[in-house]
Amino acid sequence: MDNGLETEDTGGPKGEPHWLDRKRTGKRVFWGLIALCAGLGLADFLYRRHGIFDFEEFPLAYAIFGFVCFFGIVLSGYPLRKLVMRDEDYYDR
Amino acid sequence: MIADLPPGLILILGAILVPFLPGRLRQLYLLALPVLGGLQLYGLEHGSFAQTQIFGYQLTLLRVDALSVVFGTIFLITAFLNVIYGLHQRDAVQEAAALVYSGAAIGAVFVGDLISLFVFWELTAISSVFLIWASRNERAYRAGMRYLIIQVGSGVILLAGVILHAQATGSIAFDRLGLTNLATALIFIAFGIKCAFPFLHNWMQDAYPEATVVGTVVLSAFTTKLAIYALARAFPGTEILIYIGAIMTVFPVFFAVIENDLRRVLAFSLNNQLGFMVVGIGVGTPVALNGAISHAFVHIIYKALLFMSMGAVLHRVGTVKASELGGLFRSMPLTAVFCMVGAASISAFPLFSGFVTKSLTLTGVAEAGYVITWLVLVFASAGVLEHSGIKIPYFAFFAHDSGLRCREAPANMLIAMGLAAFLCIFLGVYPEPLYAMLPYQVDYEPYTTSHVLSQLQLLFFAMLAFAVLIRTGLYPAERPSTNLNTDWIYRKALPALVRWAMTVGAAVRDGVLARGRRRLERALVQITRHHGPEGILARTVTTGNTVLWVALLLAVMLLLNFV
């Protein structure tokens, strides 16, 4: 069936990696993200956020919660893999 | 438009002609049916129509009110998008099954009694399984059978509940029931199975990724949201739903992290999103209910968009395993952009649809004072960002270059994804038309500085965590694997138990038979001893002896008579 799969590289011009593949793009994204987070964090000290619960108004409450939860969720994958991960053909055997 | 004709029936009856129509005409016909359904819906006035009496019970095939119109509208929009997405295929089975399935779900949304609900409920189960079987392989066949048993089982439980309810109350009206007795508990469980409550959920992660490219997109829209509709109709404000929903938002997050099949990741994500809606229904205040219903509305679109993008990848490169993908943005840039729009919507980025509805649900939960539940939902929001916001687009389109090169998705797929992406942004920027459709008057402004800032902080710091995990190499690599879930119980444990029971049963049977045989042998020895050629009972007794014994006996009797 012709599903459009091609073996030839149809990416960017030959010899030059796509701009999204360049190492410095990755670095720029990372530092850009840090700058954005710094700005968002700083905003908490310049503007008093309102929330339904008191603890929402604590500076950086959402920032810390978001960072910690995300970190925790990804790292929880390690013990969970040990517990439930099996070979791909587990049910076919 | 024909008066009193339920819009769902247009799709169901329309499906009959599908196999007989040739190429282009069939495509036009498929596109026309949801449009006709939509015209029919908007020509209807609020009220109950198409009523009939059967065995003393009043059936209502068309009950038009705000709640049914919201779900009917989104189901018709999705049915239309799904037709566009599937236009490249030439498979009458899938096309007809998708129409009947969509029509059954729309039909169920508009019924006003529980018996009609049961009929459409089962029809969604029976028609949708063909979208799984249409993959036409052994794995899909088995997954489809498991799916069918569970879905039909849900219908049977529903019917049992309806019969008990009708016996107890004499009513079959599909209105607010409340969790009050065995009958309503059975109905609640039936809804819970279709809604993928914890421990009743795994049919979804099991079956959806085995369906066809188009099939999974179609499946993702209807079954579970029909259950959400049914819960919103019959069980609003049922407190246990808050806790059930909260669990639903959390546990799939962990399973999605370690899952390699990206369509299965989306199935876990779907489970997590349903949790938000179930919590909103459980809280039951007008704000929370509006939150749940509007969330269902936008969720159907962005979830379909995400499934469409992964379907396009599967269609082009033949796999959606994260461990085999990466770098596809080169070959499928538009699909990548559409996928990211879906990812931003499900993650509730401001200006995308998830933001304006999830915040409504969270406000409803917070205003009702459920602090812990609210925290759980915010935690789950970070989880959504992880698996649907980042993992899906990152591992499919970016990450390391897998070397896979292919053409962009077919034009019809791109149009469907483009329309869905447009709706995600349109409703995110301009939610008023959606808010106006909701059953309760909404006085809610999602775009306050505090709210936008809070959400951006949550999301961008979570993204920072991702960037740190990637740069430090702590983010675990994707591995081909199968992850155990509750389906392990009926795919491994129960068959093993049955095998064990059969082994033990065979041993017991053999033991009993051996013992019986020994007893029989012993009995035969005794019988032979007494009745055999040498046995005492086999001896011949002479007539004279017998006469003597009889005479003796008579003498004794005589003596006894005189005593």
pLDDT over 90 (residue B381): yes
Residue B516 CB neighbours (<10 A): 10
Express each pLDDT in B388-404 by its tens digit. Answer: 999 999 999 988 888 88
Highest mean pLDDT among B1-10, B157-166, B529-538: B157-166
Range of the structural domain that residue A64 is part of: 23-84
User: Phi first, then psi: what are they for B195, rounded to 5°?
Assistant: -85, -5
- Is A14 among the domain residues? no
Structure tokens at B67: 């709640």
Express each pLDDT in B94-145 by its tens digit. Answer: 999 999 999 999 999 999 999 999 999 999 999 999 999 999 999 999 999 9
**What pLDDT score was predicted for residue B135?**
95
**Chain B hits for A64, Cβ within 8 Å:** 461
Structure tokens at B108: 């169920």
One-character DSSP codes across B150-203:
HHHHHHHHHHHHHHHHHHHHS--B-S---S-SHHHHHHHHHHHHHTT-TTS-HH
- Is A51 among the domain residues? yes
Mutate to test the interface with B, among A71, A78, A82, A87 (most CBs of B within 10 A): A71
Count: domains in chain A: 1
Residue A70 CB neighbours (<10 A): 26
What are the extents of the domains in chain B?
1-230, 236-481, 490-562
Label residue B532 exposed, middle or buried (CB < 10 Å: 0-12, 13-18, 19+). middle
Closest CA to B366 of A63, A70, A56: A56
- Is A47 among the domain residues? yes
- Is A3 among the domain residues? no
Q: Which residues of B417-453 are buried (b: 16+ CB within 10 A; e: fewer)?
A: bbbbbebbeebbeebeebbebbbeebebebeeeebbb
pLDDT over 60 (residue B39): yes
pLDDT over 80 (residue B3): no
pLDDT over 90 (residue B54): no
- The residue ranking higher by pLDDT, B538 or B215, is B215
- Is A77 among the domain residues? yes
What percentage of chain B's residues is helix, strand, coil (to nearest 5)? Answer: 75, 5, 20
- The shortest CB-CB distance from B450 to any of A40, A51, A60 is to A51
Q: Which residues of B125-156 are buried (b: 16+ CB within 10 A; e: fewer)?
A: bbbbbbbbbbbeeeebebbbebbbebbeebbe
Mutate to test the interface with A, among B398, B461, B484, B488 (most CBs of A within 10 A): B461
pTM value?
A: 0.89
Q: Is A41 in contact with B316 (Cβ distance < 8 A)?
A: no
- Is A92 among the domain residues? no
Categorize the per-residue pLDDT at B56 as very low, low, confident or very high, splitting at 50, 70 and 90: confident
A-chain residue closest to B480, CA distance:
A88
Between the alpha carbon of residue B523 and those of residues A12, B110, B526, B537, the distances in Å are 93, 73, 5, 15
What 8-state DSSP symbol labels residue A19?
T
d(CA B244, CA B71): 22
Q: Which B positions 314-333 lie with beta carbon below 8 A of chain A?
A: 315-318, 327, 329-331
The residues that bridge with B405 in the sheet, in sequence order, are A6
B-chain residue closest to A87, CA distance:
B481
State ipTM: 0.86
Express each pLDDT in B304-331 by its tens digit. Answer: 999 999 999 999 999 999 999 988 999 9
Helices (H) and strands (E) in chain A, counts: 2, 2
Residue B536 CB neighbours (<10 A): 9
Closest CA to A82 of B385, B481, B537, B169: B481
Q: What is the mean pLDDT of chain B?
A: 94
d(CA B394, CA B400): 9
- Is A44 among the domain residues? yes
